[in-house]
Structure 1
């Protein structure tokens, strides 16, 4: 189904911040190193070497290098996947809850 211009603009109602930082993905008892490419109040884009499926639930942790700043811990769901030429995946994650 094609997107209308208004439905595309609605997806961009949240400001995205490009961060390019290392994150840990927790999935089914495994900790997977990944790279968070951008972050908004409703989701994030992550690149990972491990493959996931749409609907997978992932815990995301971004550690803070500053003692005064708390890191980010969020429960997320994979909502889209883009396979990359190098075998990695870019993942669109919807934030379900912040901890």
Structure 2
């Protein structure tokens, strides 16, 4: 399946939740504060001041606002990168695994 086929399939098969919440991206020893704009069962759209490239692996931490609930931890891969006017990146991240 090509990425374009996957993009179409995801739009058709998976509901995206608009969440707009602060998250942390980690690549190696680099930590970036970011904003997750939306989340589905297979990926997320993120905005951050990074220099990531397609194919990079990134750990994502989405904290929980409730002390009883653990936040989301996910291993992801960058599948889309666009540079915004302010220099930040809009990133499409595919979720590889969650814990």
Fold-level similarity (TM above 0.5): yes
- Residue 92 of structure 1 pairs with residue 92 of structure 2: yes
Structure 1 residue runs of 4 or more that deviate by more than 4 Å after TM superposition:
none
Which structure 2 segments of 5+ residues have no match? none
- Residue 24 of structure 1 pairs with residue 24 of structure 2: yes
Find the structure with the greater CA-based Rg: 1
1 or 2, which has the higher helix percentage?
Answer: 2
Distance (Å, rounded) in 2 between the aligned partners of 1:78 and 1:34: 14
Q: TM-score, normalised to structure 1's length?
A: 0.89
Identify the residue that residue 63 of structure 2 maps to in structure 1: 63
RMSD in angstroms over aligned alpha carbons?
1.5
Identify the residue that residue 74 of structure 1 maps to in structure 2: 74
Count of aligned pairs between the two proteins = 95
Q: TM-score, normalised to structure 2's length?
A: 0.89
